[in-house]
Amino acid sequence: MKTATTETVHITGASSGIGLELAKCFAADKSDLILVARNTEALGKIAEELRREYKIKVNVLTADLSLSETPEQIFTELKGRGLTVDVLVNNAGFGLHGEFAELPLARQLEMIQVNVASLVALTGQFLPGMIKRQRGGVLNVGSVAGFIPGPHMAVYYATKAFVMSFSEALHEELRSTRITVTDLCPGPTETNFSQVARSHRTRKSQAKKMSAQMVAEIGYQNFRQAKCFSVPGWSNKLLAIAPKFLPRAIIRRLVGKYNDLK
Ligand SMILES: NC(=O)c1ccc[n+]([C@@H]2O[C@H](COP(=O)([O-])OP(=O)(O)OC[C@H]3O[C@@H](n4cnc5c(N)ncnc54)[C@H](OP(=O)(O)O)[C@@H]3O)[C@@H](O)[C@H]2O)c1
């Protein structure tokens, strides 16, 4: 639940898609923001609009989360600016479509750095302060992919399985504190994701997509309600519980077909 005093929310991947829409949700609630991504120009424009519309303070930080040193640099930079992070939104991430053995290994390791290692490192930098102040929370943007294996996007699905396991464990560890941890698990959403992942020619690309705004609003509400998981949309909820009813051999075969080329 949001406290009465102003909070500062740090959002990675705020330059587009779900991260941008989450920024608007927090801004509408009068939270101050720290927006992080690589695209400085996009972040600058977004910050200007949010300041004008919501009368909040917005800081911008250009950072590349595929570099292992970035989370510590962000922490030091924010300390230097005198900023305290109350809520951490780990949203930055990307996918890659293709066979594991054929995709460039370096790019897949970069994905693990952005989707997993930087998410853990940022949480490690900011969570102790939240616990000390007994205020705040972490909203991790995972995916419904975290519930199932993902042939043709093997590393991406595995990163989201990590995010799910990590978030759920932290949620439990922090149960007796005022800190809450939520794993937002969207399914197909209208953003730049499939262009970046090069998955726009797969069967999956024909699936009905939710808007980034709707996904963010549901995730935001569930975070404020201190839920452990947020799975927006009925079809995604069904997919999330499928492993309870279907044998894994069938699930991985179906997902493989879904992620295959049209
Ligand atoms: N769209 C979907 O269907 C879908 C479904 C489930 C989960 N998700 C998850 O939702 C999250 C947001 O993705 P999206 O769908 O909103 O896609 P998007 O529009 O492509 O947004 C991705 C964001 O991550 C940032 N980012 C990527 N690489 C980065 C890096 N190396 N350093 C810093 N920032 C980086 C991008 O900013 P810059 O390019 O400016 O750096 C951008 O702001 C991701 O974690 C994704 O896995 C998406």
Domain residue extents for the chain: 8-258
At 34-64, the pLDDT tens digits run: 999 999 999 999 999 999 999 999 999 999 9
The dihedral sign for the CA sequence 9, 189, 38, 109: positive
Ligand 1 neighbour 136 (Cβ under 6 A): no
Query: Where are the extended beta strands (E) located within the chain?
Result: 8-12, 32-37, 58-62, 87-90, 137-141, 180-184, 189-190, 210-211, 229-230
d(CA 192, CA 50): 21
Residue nearest to atom 46 of ligand 1 (CA): 93
What's the pLDDT at 6?
A: 87
Q: Which two tokens stand for residue 258?
A: 């879904």
What is the number of H-type helices and E-type strands within the chain? 10, 9
In CATH, 8-258 is 3.40.50.720: yes
- Which of 46, 91, 196 most suits a substitution to test ligand 1, by most atoms within 8 Å of the C-beta? 91
At 143-156, the pLDDT tens digits run: 999 999 999 999 99
At 102-128, the pLDDT tens digits run: 999 999 999 999 999 999 999 999 999
Ligand 1 neighbour 193 (Cβ under 6 A): yes
d(CA 98, CA 104): 10
Ligand 1 neighbour 141 (Cβ under 6 A): yes
Report residues of the chain scoring pLDDT below 70.
Answer: 1-5, 262
What's the pLDDT at 2?
A: 58
